[in-house]
Structure 1
Amino acid sequence: MITISAIRHFPLSEDAALCSDQTLELRIRTRAGEALKVFCYYGDRVSVIDPIPVEEVEMERIGCDGVNDIYGVRIQSPYTRICYYFGLCEKTPEGLSAMTYYSEHGFDPQPIKDRTQFFQYPYLRREDLPSAPDWAKDTVLYHIFPDSFADKRGGLENREFEILGEDGEVSCAKHGGTLKGVTENLPYIKDLGMNCIYLNPVFRSASCHKYDTIDYMEIDPCLGTKDDLVNLVEQAHELGIRVILDGVFNHSGSGFAPFVDVLSKGEASEYADWFYQLRFPLEFQDPPNYEAFAYVKEMPKLNTGNPKVQNYCCEVGRYWIREAGIDGWRLDVANEVDHDFWRAFRKAVRKEKKDALLIAEIWEDATNWLMGDQFDSSMNYQFADICREFFAKESITAEVFDQRINRMYFRYCSATAGVQMNFLDTHDVPRFLEYCKGDLQKMELAAAFLMLFPGIPSVFYGDELGVRGRTEDEYRQIMPWNRKKPRLFAVYRDLAKLRGEKEILRRGTFRSLWTDEAFAKMGEELMKNKKGYGFFRELDGHRVIALFNAGDEPISFSYPKNIEPSLWYGSSVDCIGAGSFAVVGID
């Protein structure tokens, strides 16, 4: 029996999304484990023929999240207006069961005739395509915490100091990294295979982390000058490396001139409405009596619904693109800022630079921010969590890992999933190698998964050298420039190079190995020890397989007949050693 209550499809969502102005991606979810055949019937929603002619196409099972099987199909159609419904039948020992049809009006034993009852995709408009810049798909990010990185080529003096501004505000450095230091080490970043740098905040701030902005239009003097940033971007561009800055518009620092004015004048300040839900008299203490980031009194929350604040921040976004030539923004605490602000910010930035990339810091599902009108991408903390459980802690099996990866990937349409900012760690969480308890082989496996999975892989500075750290001071430690490069460095470098050479590894979609019936036996052989895993990347009818063995014993397996595997990376196409991985072409 087909479990009707488990069937799910939401039109105009990740279940029905444009891939191009002539290609529509459709998905439907059914109860996991039920042996079904699923079909899609579609036609021209404004056809002059009634009932409208429909074309039948069989959908493929493309994933399973442990609760639902996910079926998908891509329709390339001459129609600009599409309506569609689904048909499902069960595979039994006696053959196929009777068909059940599913449309906007629910379930029916007969094919749907009335087009008004079909699911509708009103118009395939190119303006509704996911609008991440094309270069995002080819990006490998190198994430730098400026204070901890470098002040010269291959080194950092590691000195703590303060600089007093003319306005009496103090800027602090903990380790003394500079923008010039980043520039001096661009050849290192290039050699590692990275083609984009994401810098944590560089604007004038009180702290060494720079998330408490004093002046959005000035570079922090501890890090350098505006000219230093301009030079960094210019030299990076010459090497084919883009640069993304960190924008903090949810809150400012307490030294931000408008907030200083409010602290001085109270309700009489012309900037009183620049901040969110102030209560007078202000109590500048811990915790404050006004809205702030995480109850930090030095980080008062901006009122981004105020047009004056919105215009100011939008000008900041435009200014640094115009003046320094940066390529995009990572935006802090994006889910605590109103949506209209981000829509305005996107329009302003894209007017200045049509292919600027916008990445949201959102730790959970970011669907509401990834509808095409606000952000292109978000920081994928769920990716890091799942990898930590499987590769580092070994607390879940390959089957559970696969289910969680599928749930994560298929929460977005494939175009959006393909530009998510994936990572193992950042400046806000312990280093991944710490969870591995220093086991570099585990780290290598996780790094390989990061580099081969769809999305924008992001490498936090020093990960490639085996940096560990659980506390904030530890995971933001100075770059160990004098450390001998471990094999891990080569894993990142070699797979970055392989991504650059193979378009399928940059732009191909994801599919678990076992979802293809021809590869089901191979998938079983790979996962029988509960530590083996594999997935396809697919592009234009071509396929490549990424294979991983997180266990302690080698895993051998066989390929379907007529498949001639070719080794792209690793030591063998049909045996993966303990703690190893391989990349195999199967065309």
Structure 2
Amino acid sequence: MTDWAEHVIWWHLHPLTFLGAPRQALPPGAPAEPRLRKLGPWLDYLLELGCNGLALGPIFESETHGYDTVNHYRVDRRLGTEEDLRWLVDECRAKGIRVLLDGVFNHVGRGFVRFGDPAYETWFRKDGDDFATFEGHRHLVALNHDEPAVADYVTGVMRHWLDFGVDGWRLDAAYAVPLPFWKRTAGAIDGGWFVGEVIHGDYPAWVRDGGLDSVTQYELWKAIWSSLNDLNFFELAWAIERHDTFSADFAPMTFVGNHDVTRLASILTDRRHVGLALAVLFTTGGVPSIYAGDEQAFQGVKRDEENGDDDIRPAFPSTPAGLAPDGWPTYRLYQQLIGLRRRHPWLHRAVTRPLHVANKQLAYEVSAGGHRLIVLLNAADHGHEFTLETGPLRPLLSHDTAGNGTFVPGPGWSILEPV
């Protein structure tokens, strides 16, 4: 575990779509387009938001969406060249921004440089007489993770780009890869931070047996929005208790949106609940990640169809000045909550204790190392006075200045500190 991970807050984007790249790979011989340099104006934006990490989706040569990699050692020409990536990494380093790359090592595109070569046939898993695929997608060929040469290849890729200057890896579809493979690759590399994409299962196993530093906390993500939609904070209280069991071993990557799911502003049936969701995100233990656009209240629905990610992966304007004016109040809300987390860095490994649980109200205490905060959530349309046996409390941040300590106008939230 790297020390800097205790203080990082990621701003996550999908470069190919964020930068308006064409859907298909460029034809052979076509010159590279230096789109990665267009991220320059967005670096100060993410810093002003309060983040200090840039989590990039796939940037390596691929056939379409980036997750069908054909060469892990080449930057996708739709995004630029290695020199353009060098420029971006150097710009980030100069501004104190960590860089996370997306490693797609469960599967490759059918155009992968070694697929189809008989000398490398053992690199790919078989399903009967044909090659196995990822979740039925024929164009995504599953790697054979029992093949030592595949482990050596993946280790080489990871080390190459860490030596280049990036700080860590998000490991795509980590849940589909045997844990010993991660132990032999990521688990054997010092100096980087490795987070696995894990949707469900025994999260600590990927850290304990897979050698990773963290995993994506989908259980908490689901509980945050569904408890608000169902007005059932018992679900969220249960999920937070589960989260604490994970946090005892490692700091999960927490989020309320990413490139694979319906955006928060669309999945919530009552958009007034956005602030409550964010209050949970920024007061629970873990490593928070913000999906680009959520901080501007972007809407978008993930659809189970061809090109079903289009709504949640839009192209962004060339600079933040091109963003619509109605998104900036949400941006300022993010700034306030991220600022509170920055002032209380111990929240990275905080544990949570429920103080009051009802369908529409939840109060909990977060603590670590002698520090404490009290979080009050009220999903009702009316105000609610929380009766708590915590002693005197000092208001730190609230959605509404009409709140008076333990009274929270509805729907709303408040964060307080014991005096």
Which letter maps to 2:271? L
1:171 deviates by 11
TM alignment of 1:77-88, pairs within 5 A: none
Distance in structure 1 (CA, Å) of the matches to 2:259 and 2:273: 21
Assess, with a 3 A threshold, how the Cα gap between structure 1 residues 451 and 171 changes in structure 2: closer, same or farther. farther
- 2:183·2:211 contact (CA, 8 Å) conserved in 1? yes
- 2:240·2:352 contact (CA, 8 Å) conserved in 1? no
What residue is the counterpart of 1:580 in the other structure?
412
Which letter maps to 2:114? P
TM alignment of 1:449-468, pairs within 5 A: 449-468=280-299
Assess, with a 3 A threshold, how the Cα gap between structure 1 residues 372 and 512 changes in structure 2: closer, same or farther. farther
What residue is the counterpart of 1:531 in the other structure?
360
What residue is the counterpart of 1:82 in the other structure?
none
Assess, with a 3 A threshold, how the Cα gap between structure 1 residues 204 and 465 changes in structure 2: closer, same or farther. same
Higher relative contact order (CA 8 A, sep 6+): 2
What residue is the counterpart of 1:179 in the other structure?
36
1:401 deviates by 2.5
Counterpart check, 1:482 vs 2:317: no
Which letter maps to 1:461? A
Assess, with a 3 A threshold, how the Cα gap between structure 1 residues 560 and 279 changes in structure 2: closer, same or farther. closer
Q: C-alpha deviations, 1:34-76, integer Å up to 9, x for none?
A: xxxxxxxxxxxxxxxxxxxxxxxxxxxxxxxxxxxxxxxxxxx
1:400 deviates by 3.4
- 2:107·2:141 contact (CA, 8 Å) conserved in 1? yes
Q: C-alpha deviations, 1:452-472, integer Å up to 9, x for none?
A: 111111111100111111132
Which letter maps to 1:568? L
TM alignment of 1:377-396, pairs within 5 A: 377-391=214-228, 393=229, 395-396=230-231
Counterpart check, 1:567 vs 2:388: no
Residue of 198, 207, 212 corresponding to 1:375: 212
- 1:147·1:177 contact (CA, 8 Å) conserved in 2? no
- 2:383·2:410 contact (CA, 8 Å) conserved in 1? yes
Counterpart check, 1:213 vs 2:103: no
Which letter maps to 2:232? T
Which letter maps to 1:318? R
Q: What TM-score, normalized to structure 1?
A: 0.65
What residue is the counterpart of 1:420 in the other structure?
252
Q: What TM-score, normalized to structure 2?
A: 0.90
- 1:148·1:177 contact (CA, 8 Å) conserved in 2? no
1:201 deviates by 0.7
What residue is the counterpart of 2:183 in the other structure?
343
- Structure (1 or 2) with the greater helix fraction: 2
Percentage of pairs with the same residue: 28
Question: RMSD across aligned C-alpha pairs, in angstroms?
Answer: 2.3
1:479 deviates by 2.8
Distance in structure 2 (CA, Å) of the matches to 1:451 and 1:311: 38
Residue of 146, 151, 154 corresponding to 1:313: 154
Counterpart check, 1:409 vs 2:243: yes
Which letter maps to 2:159? R
Counterpart check, 1:188 vs 2:45: yes
Residue of 193, 196, 219 corresponding to 1:357: 193
Assess, with a 3 A threshold, how the Cα gap between structure 1 residues 504 and 573 changes in structure 2: closer, same or farther. farther
1:160 deviates by 5.9
Distance in structure 2 (CA, Å) of the matches to 1:435 and 1:194: 24
Counterpart check, 1:149 vs 2:18: yes
Residue of 131, 146, 170 corresponding to 1:330: 170
SS of structure 1 residue aligned to 2:416 = strand
Residue of 87, 92, 97 corresponding to 1:241: 97
1:161 deviates by 6.6
Which letter maps to 2:16? D
Q: Number of aligned residue pairs: give it.
A: 403
Distance in structure 2 (CA, Å) of the matches to 1:559 and 1:380: 29
- 2:300·2:312 contact (CA, 8 Å) conserved in 1? yes
Distance in structure 1 (CA, Å) of the matches to 2:259 and 2:247: 28
- 1:551·1:578 contact (CA, 8 Å) conserved in 2? yes
Which letter maps to 1:206? E
Counterpart check, 1:508 vs 2:350: yes
Distance in structure 1 (CA, Å) of the matches to 2:282 and 2:184: 33
Structure 2, gaps ≥5 residues long: 304-308
Assess, with a 3 A threshold, how the Cα gap between structure 1 residues 257 and 368 changes in structure 2: closer, same or farther. same
Distance in structure 1 (CA, Å) of the matches to 2:371 and 2:188: 39
Residue of 321, 334, 341 corresponding to 1:499: 341
Distance in structure 2 (CA, Å) of the matches to 1:344 and 1:397: 42
Distance in structure 1 (CA, Å) of the matches to 2:169 and 2:135: 22
- 2:220·2:243 contact (CA, 8 Å) conserved in 1? no
Counterpart check, 1:429 vs 2:261: yes
Residue of 292, 296, 299 corresponding to 2:140: 299
Distance in structure 2 (CA, Å) of the matches to 1:247 and 1:503: 28
1:505 deviates by 2.8
- 1:448·1:491 contact (CA, 8 Å) conserved in 2? no
Distance in structure 1 (CA, Å) of the matches to 2:94 and 2:347: 25
- 2:34·2:80 contact (CA, 8 Å) conserved in 1? no
